[in-house]
Amino acid sequence: MKKEEDISFSKLFHLASKNSPDAMPPKKGAIKTEPQEWHTTYYKKYPRTPKIVLPQDTSASSRPIFSAIAERLSRSDFSSEAMSISELSNLLRFSCGETSLMDENRKRRAHPSAGARFPIEIYPFILRSGKNIKSGIYHYYPETHQLDFLLDHAFTDEELSRIFILPNCKNCVISVVFYQGGT
């Protein structure tokens, strides 16, 4: 038997937060079934805002992962070329969208989340009007792969210079804000 100081708390947390029935055996006398609430993923909704249905482009998912990783570049010379709604759709789908079914109440998403609770909300700020998309503030709704159009706003160069520290950021087309919190 291990001494108390030999316990790896990070390993214990990892085992306890796994999303599988064999994660950690329940203590004697503990509740045998978990509340259904623990197995339900909720999505923040903006029911009164206009919706933009994003295209379901599957061509990007056929690209071999290793060549995509090998060709990845980090740059800070932002292009002011307009982004298409299809490009935005792929960006959102493959970075934070739903990927597969976990059970009847939950789906897996492209990014990890302890217990599949996904407390992060994605707010794309479209800084420059693009091809088929207006500048403004949106909310990404992964359950239906849609954007909620929250604010129609044309950002001025003065506003962008106050928002971003780096001067070349005012040339970028999109900025994504991640918000973690309750719904």
Q: Is 170 a member of any domain?
A: yes
Helix (H, G, I), strand (E, B) or coil at 104: coil
Q: Is 151 a member of any domain?
A: yes
Strand segments (E) across the chain? 51-53, 98-103, 106-109, 120-126, 136-141, 146-152, 174-180
Q: Is 59 a member of any domain?
A: yes
Q: What is the pLDDT of residue 140?
A: 93
Question: In total, how many domains does the chain have?
Answer: 1
Q: Is 30 a member of any domain?
A: no
pLDDT higher at 76 or 97: 97
Q: What is the pLDDT of residue 34?
A: 67
Range of the domain at 96: 50-180
Q: Is 113 a member of any domain?
A: yes
In the structure, what pLDDT confidence band is assigned to residue 183 with cuts at 50, 70 and 90? very low
The residues pairing with 84 across neighbouring beta strands, listed in sequence order, are 131
Contacts of residue 183, Cβ cutoff 8 Å, sequence gap at least 6 = 42, 43, 44
For residue range 141-180, list pLDDT tens digits in order. Answer: 998 999 999 999 988 888 888 877 777 776 777 776 666 6
**Phi, psi dihedrals of residue 110, rounded to the nearest 5°:** -70, -20
Q: Is 27 a member of any domain?
A: no
CATH number where 104 lies: 3.40.109.10
How far is it, in rounded angstroms, from Cα 176 to Cα 31? 41
Residue 99: pLDDT over 60: yes
pLDDT higher at 36 or 55: 55
Q: Is 14 a member of any domain?
A: no
Q: Is 22 a member of any domain?
A: no
pTM: 0.63
